[in-house]
Structure 1
Amino acid sequence: MDNPIAENVLGTLGAVCWSIQLLPQIVINYKRHNTEGLQGSMMLLWAVAGVPLGVYNIVEEFNVALRIQPQILTTLSLLTWAQCLYYGKGFSIKKCIAAVVPLLLFLGGVETGLIFALKKAKSRGLEWPLILMAVLSAALLAAGVLRHYWDIYVHRTVRGISFFFVGIDAAGDLFSLVSVVFGPALDALGMIIYGTELVLWLGIFVCGGVFNFLPWLRDHSRKSEVPPEPVTLHPMPSSTSVFRTVSGTVVERRGRPRSAEAEN
């Protein structure tokens, strides 16, 4: 389905969603002064995933928006990873900068080199390097999200992640996926890259409904039948902390990291 207008419009929407997807999460981290429940490894995996994804999208000559999209993903992922280091690991701002900036420059250099190398390989009819880039990007993006599935399995709740962020990211995947469909040639690997992460994010929504919303709904129903009790929240609330869960029994001391509470 070769439709340049639809391809570019949808690709731009996908890039816009990926441009702002992590901003709600970054703001939430800043406001609560911790990143409990947010997987730093997920952010690092996404930052690295931007390299093969950028190489694939540029060499395959996707629309301009999809070429820029991976660069935004890497930059914002490293910024969020810096928050994990600062709030979660207790790094100073200088140490965070020293960790993030060289890594950003290194990833940018690797991507640039791979783009030139794979363009030359493609001109010679070699397809496996591009296939490798597609597989790596899909695997790294999926691995980042799967880290949250492990946290959900361990704690039986979705914590530390903004569902607003999840929705924006999933929308970015959807728009990008459909943009690939409207390209000059149907790119199956491009569809797999974006489709894999989209399915995993939909699973996070399902987990949020099962582990966060349903317990909150049952508790709310019981409250309507008995006198009100003190409200309890997660120790480290996510964007869904208004949903009480069975495990939530401690009220967070606003603005204080968990490590500071443990010392008192």
Structure 2
Amino acid sequence: MQPNKTVENALATVGGILWTVQAFPQIYKSFRTKSTKGVSAHLMLIWALSALFFMVYTITRPLSVPSIIQVHFSFVVFTTSWVQCLHYTYGYSIKKALSYGGVWTLVCIGFEVGSIFGLWAAQKHGTEIPMSVYGYMSSVASVIGLLPQYYEIYRLREVLGLSYSFIFTDIVGALFYILSLFFRPTLDYSAMVIYVLTAGMMVIIIILALILNPRAAKRRRLEGDQTTIETTTSPETKKGAGMDHIAAASSEKIEVHLDGSDTDSEPGSGPSTPTGMEAHHDVPILGYSGNETPHEEPVMDHIAEAAKKV
């Protein structure tokens, strides 16, 4: 394509606007739900680092003004999302999380200013390699930053926590940036690499969401049904088990009565023994023999007293 500065700036402006607002849905979602579960804090920190390298690159190259403004704004947004992860995921207090974010921002500002003046000095001596290194470092950091997010997806077995508005806006913004590069006098391969990789890896996340999220929803539905079944049947099972226990105890008691092993003997069966076995009357009981009756001695005494009176 023929170089056209106006078209380049127009396309880059659209891409810059999209990438400027891309993380707002993510920040808003995390704030609204008070949770960053499924969002990798390492992703946000490494992408902020990637933006830092690209901030230096866009100024020293220089790229279009919208690209310069956008990448600085992206740094702020990714740092903000990282602070949210510190607070919601890792339990840092708001004050502590903001302190970490502030220190990180100050260090990055110092790094950017020093790098810009250093690269400008290298340019004056005809050295362009350090500038290209910054561009490729931004690309490498952008790719590495998504690896922790892929691990979160693998661990949770679904795409959770990420805002789909954030993902789609990121992809469309990258496409506009890619188109703007074709209207430059020379194609900037470092910028092309970072835009293509960012869009491609975001597309992979969408594909993973289409595959894994329906499976995760089905898995939760089955687990919920199983929990409902256990909750419903558990009281009946316990009641049935109690009735079986009572029936078994009643049956055992009836069997004891039938075989005479219970301590309550039938009338006329004679005294029972401690073992519950049938008594033997030829064994002396209470100190008298089997030929005597318990009332024999008192009757004879009564007859003798009556004869004396006569």
Band of TM-score, shorter chain: 0.7 to 0.9
Number of residue pairs aligned between Structure 1 and Structure 2? 222
Q: Is residue 83 of structure 2 the alignment partner of residue 82 of structure 1?
A: yes
1:53-132 residue pairs with structure 2 within 5 A?
53-132=54-133
Is the 1:157–1:245 contact (alpha carbons within 8 Å) kept by the matching residues of 2? no
Alpha-carbon deviation of 1:147? 1.8
Is the 1:118–1:129 contact (alpha carbons within 8 Å) kept by the matching residues of 2? yes
Aligned to 1:246: 219
Aligned to 2:197: 196
Cα distance in 2 between the residues matched to 1:127 and 1:103: 28
Is the 2:38–2:156 contact (alpha carbons within 8 Å) kept by the matching residues of 1? no
In the superposition, the TM-score normalised over structure 2's length comes to 0.68
Local SS of the residue matching 2:219: coil
Local SS of the residue matching 2:38: coil
Is the 2:4–2:183 contact (alpha carbons within 8 Å) kept by the matching residues of 1? yes
1:208-227 residue pairs with structure 2 within 5 A?
208-213=209-214, 215=215
Alpha-carbon deviation of 1:17? 1.2
Aligned to 2:34: 33
Cα distance in 1 between the residues matched to 2:145 and 2:93: 25
Is the 2:19–2:74 contact (alpha carbons within 8 Å) kept by the matching residues of 1? yes
Local SS of the residue matching 1:246: helix
Local SS of the residue matching 1:186: coil
Aligned to 1:226: none
Aligned to 2:142: 141
Is the 1:181–1:191 contact (alpha carbons within 8 Å) kept by the matching residues of 2? no
Counterpart amino acid of 2:219? V
Cα distance in 1 between the residues matched to 2:58 and 2:15: 13
Alpha-carbon deviation of 1:201? 0.7
Greater RCO, CA 8 A, separation 6+: 1
Local SS of the residue matching 2:108: helix
Counterpart amino acid of 2:5? P
Identity percentage of aligned residues: 32
Cα distance in 2 between the residues matched to 1:63 and 1:245: 47
Aligned to 1:240: none
Give me the CA root mean square deviation. 1.6
- The superposition leaves residues 49-75 of structure 1 with CA deviations (integer Å, 9 ceiling, x where unpaired) of 111101111111111011112211110
Instruction: State the 4+ residue runs in structure 1 displaced beyond 3 angstroms.
Output: 247-250
Unmatched runs of 5 consecutive residues or more in structure 1? 216-233, 235-243, 251-264
Is the 2:60–2:116 contact (alpha carbons within 8 Å) kept by the matching residues of 1? yes
- The superposition leaves residues 138-172 of structure 1 with CA deviations (integer Å, 9 ceiling, x where unpaired) of 01111122222122223321111111110011112
The structure whose Rg is larger is 2
Cα distance in 2 between the residues matched to 1:180 and 1:112: 26
